[in-house]
Structure 1
Amino acid sequence: MKVKKYTASSMPEAMKQVRSELGSDAVILNSRVVQTGGFMGFFKKNSIEVIAAIDPDTEMAPKTVSLDKPKAYTQPSIKAEGPKTDFNHDKKRTGLSLTPVADKELLKEISQLKEMLKSSGSTDAISLPEPVSRHLHHLRNQDVDQHIIDELSGVLLEKWYLNGAAASEDDVAEWSAEAIQQRLAELSFGGVSFKKKFVNVIGPTGVGKTTTLAKIAAECVLKHQKSVAFITTDTYRIAAIEQLKTYAKILDVPIEVCYNLDDFKAATGKFSQYDVVFIDTAGRNFRNQKYVDDLKDVIDFNEEMETFLVLALTSKQKDMEEIRKQFSLIHINKYIFTKLDETSVYGSMLNMADKFSTGIAYLTNGQDVPDDLIGASPEITANTIIGANNYE
């Protein structure tokens, strides 16, 4: 691949230079107005700077499309199967290698291309290969943060040109999924660790904490054969207490209602012989710091406790961030994201994990107990965002 910068007095003149040297199949990567000439800072004139590229080993350079007018992105339809989800691509079908051998000159040119992309500040100003452009637009529709999209664009362009600019949209989606997984790889994922005795779920009202808690408890009883008990501090809603009592009766596990810290300590002592004790908290307006302080007055967070913050994917990310910051004095081990079945936009999972360096324990996609609970992983998170998993 050959990449070159041109400066001319006008766009037609710049295009003339590009066609003359690189040919009509050249790809315009970026263009901008720059100031040239002048004397002691005065009398400068506007010029056009164009960055163009051509792959000499390809008969025809890939078509490009502006991100302002992308074509519709078609999501692959792959049914989620929990942590066993397999997103390995069939290399025989495409004839492409995900680890191609490239000469040093090509790698140098790709590095220069990524630097040019980085210096432009945003993918908005650049014309990209069509499959890459469509996929980045899809990520935008998923509300993935722009700085993450810009970083992914560099990865996708590198993959694109290393593979001879002949990749399909499926290939681009796979590369994107791999890059997102790598971004999340250092965070802690998966459900209850069983390393701590108490599992606490906290979060705002209406996100489905009690139902989610029942799902996790049922999984521990039925799948892991653990002895389980419930503690609820949600004394603000009689319905919430009755709901958890119903789940406790179905699972044949004990439950204690706690109104203050003394009640809580008594309940934890009573359940000392159980493998896991699940704690349900009141759903309050946690944008008000007072309610977080009230929570600390009821629950002893110094106990051996694993805490999950429950957030609904139907919420605005700005609200999620405010809630997360309000809980800054409480150690959050992982998130639980609920209501996947009530939205088609999942980018906030990646954004929240990335911004606060917090992994994800579970995803929920319905009200059925013990079903509709998915143990999270970087792979499932990435595939959900790019559209590989179809939750119905």
Structure 2
Amino acid sequence: MKKYQASSMQEAMKKIRADLGKQAVILQSKTVYSGGFLGFFKKKTIEVVAAVDPNARPEIKEKPRAGSIVEKSQPTMQSIHQADLLAKEVNELKKILAQYPREHAIAFDGLPEELKPPLVRLKEQEVSDVLITELQQDLLLKWKNSKGHVDEQEAFEWAKQWLVRKIGPLQEQAAQKKKYINIVGPTGVGKTTTLAKLAADSVLEKGKKVAFISTDTYRIAAINQLKTYADLLKVPIHVAYKAEDFTEILEHLEDYDVVYIDTAGRNYRDERYVQELKSMISFEEEVESYLVMSLTSKENDLKEIIDKFSLIPIEKFIFTKMDETKTHGTLLNLMCHFQKGVAFVTNGQNVPDDVVEVDTQTIVRIIFGEDV
């Protein structure tokens, strides 16, 4: 097994064929950057690990002449043993390399040691490589301006300042401004429970006059659940079966401070569901929509959910089940990707305790593993 470096894969293949012959197999290839200054202007090379396939038939370099006698070489015990060892080594290396791209997508080699901890923290939280690279460049510039006089604690402070600048404008847009709060999202994310938590906070902590509207006529259990919360909070609940019902109910609730609207939990991949929402609810100036999603879901699935619900105006996100996962980078990735703020996160089943209204500093604490 040998390691080769070249300026391109074509050049590397020529070296390997010349050295190991046609029986060579490539075990690993990756791009390596060397030299440069402060992480910039690095030289790009291709690094390839190759070996001779122990299971390949030996290459015949010269065709025997007619009439000549060719002796068949018999494999010795030593050659068989060496082939077995090489095959075992190749298999073990393949197992290690299978995990390599995921664990080492971004390397922090060459960085000042003091700058690595906040970057590693973001990597552990599964923050996107794009954002980590952006932070890395920001930290390097600050390190250069400080002439290297920085410790780990200050590097964390720099990272937090970068994050505040990144998401601060998004969170300023996320403050609740409208009277009618519409809760939408796929099935199974805890929309009704989240709505009850928000309503309980409005009634018990803020002393507001609150009412419920349910458009979830598909699930009797959901309406009964909301009625239970309404009875406990002593607030009215109305059920809208069609758009005309919804408009009429709004007229009866003019004197209320906040009206929470619960929608049906359906398969978000069915576009008819979102179209039904559009036809049921009048998304005018006084209606503000929150998209509820679970942090335990896959990030690609959440992106698809957001795309499907883009047919209606989504002002901000609510993330549930924060207590059921140790990684929260998805929250930051989606904020930056879709340029939307986060209104609330939930971290338990208790009503109304386990809901947190989110501001910029809250998200900073979540991402950097501090108490919320």
What is the CA–CA distance in structure 2 between the aligned matches of 1:257 and 1:307, rounded to whole Å?
A: 18
Partner of 2:313: 331
What is the CA–CA distance in structure 1 between the aligned matches of 2:144 and 2:326, rounded to whole Å?
A: 31
Partner of 1:203: 185
Secondary structure of the residue aligned to 2:41 is: helix
How far 1:137 sits from its partner (Å)? 2.7
- 327 and 173 in structure 1: CA distance in 2 versus 1, 3 angstrom threshold: same
Secondary structure of the residue aligned to 2:211 is: strand
How far 1:260 sits from its partner (Å)? 1.2
- 2:337 pairs with 1:355: yes
How far 1:380 sits from its partner (Å)? 1.2
Paired amino acid for 1:237: R
Kept after mapping to 1: 8 A contact 2:274/2:311: no
User: Structure 1, residues 362-382: CA drift from partner, whole Å, max 9, x if none?
Assistant: 111111111111111122112
Kept after mapping to 1: 8 A contact 2:174/2:343: yes
Given the alignment, which residue of 350, 355, 358 partners 1:373? 355
Structure 2: runs of 5+ lacking an equivalent? 9-31, 46-104
Given the alignment, which residue of 226, 233, 249 partners 2:231? 249
Given the alignment, which residue of 74, 97, 112 partners 1:129? 112
User: Structure 1, residues 267-306: CA drift from partner, whole Å, max 9, x if none?
Assistant: 1111121111110011111122121112222222236201
Kept after mapping to 1: 8 A contact 2:106/2:129: no
Partner of 1:139: 122
Given the alignment, which residue of 322, 327, 332 partners 1:340? 322
Partner of 1:151: 134
Kept after mapping to 2: 8 A contact 1:215/1:371: yes
Q: How many residues align?
A: 286
Partner of 1:278: 260
Given the alignment, which residue of 161, 165, 168 partners 1:182? 165
Residue correspondence of structure 1 range 90-109 to structure 2 within 5 A: none
How far 1:252 sits from its partner (Å)? 0.6
User: Structure 1, residues 29-69: CA drift from partner, whole Å, max 9, x if none?
Assistant: xxx9659xxxxxxxxxxxx984266xxxxxxxxxxxxxxxx
- 270 and 307 in structure 1: CA distance in 2 versus 1, 3 angstrom threshold: same
Kept after mapping to 2: 8 A contact 1:232/1:280: yes
Structure 1: runs of 5+ lacking an equivalent? 1-31, 36-47, 54-112
Partner of 1:231: 213
Paired amino acid for 1:207: V
Kept after mapping to 2: 8 A contact 1:117/1:154: no
How far 1:116 sits from its partner (Å)? 3.3
- 270 and 225 in structure 1: CA distance in 2 versus 1, 3 angstrom threshold: same
Partner of 1:116: 41
* TM-score between both structures, scaled by the size of structure 1: 0.67
Given the alignment, which residue of 169, 172, 175 partners 2:155? 172
Higher relative CO (Cα under 8 Å, sequence separation at least 6) belongs to 1
What is the CA–CA distance in structure 1 between the aligned matches of 2:320 and 2:163, rounded to whole Å?
A: 20
Partner of 1:240: 222
Secondary structure of the residue aligned to 2:317 is: strand
Secondary structure of the residue aligned to 1:320 is: helix
- 230 and 117 in structure 1: CA distance in 2 versus 1, 3 angstrom threshold: farther
Partner of 2:35: 51
What is the CA–CA distance in structure 2 between the aligned matches of 1:143 and 1:286, rounded to whole Å?
A: 25
Which of the two has higher C-alpha Rg? 2
Q: Which has the higher helix share?
A: 2
Partner of 1:220: 202
How far 1:170 sits from its partner (Å)? 2.9
Partner of 1:309: 291
How far 1:126 sits from its partner (Å)? 4.2
What is the CA–CA distance in structure 2 between the aligned matches of 1:215 and 1:261, rounded to whole Å?
A: 26
What is the CA–CA distance in structure 2 between the aligned matches of 1:231 and 1:387, rounded to whole Å?
A: 37
How far 1:131 sits from its partner (Å)? 3.8
Paired amino acid for 1:321: K
- 334 and 34 in structure 1: CA distance in 2 versus 1, 3 angstrom threshold: same
How far 1:335 sits from its partner (Å)? 0.6
How far 1:133 sits from its partner (Å)? 2.8
How far 1:197 sits from its partner (Å)? 1.9
What is the CA–CA distance in structure 2 between the aligned matches of 1:237 and 1:272, rounded to whole Å?
A: 27
- 387 and 119 in structure 1: CA distance in 2 versus 1, 3 angstrom threshold: farther
Kept after mapping to 1: 8 A contact 2:213/2:238: yes
CA RMSD, aligned part only? 2.6
Secondary structure of the residue aligned to 1:328 is: helix
Percent of aligned positions that are identical:
45
- 357 and 326 in structure 1: CA distance in 2 versus 1, 3 angstrom threshold: same
Given the alignment, which residue of 299, 306, 315 partners 2:281? 299
Secondary structure of the residue aligned to 1:124 is: coil
Higher mean displacement: 181-190 or 306-315? 181-190
Kept after mapping to 2: 8 A contact 1:229/1:254: yes
How far 1:123 sits from its partner (Å)? 4.6
What is the CA–CA distance in structure 1 between the aligned matches of 2:233 and 2:157, rounded to whole Å?
A: 41
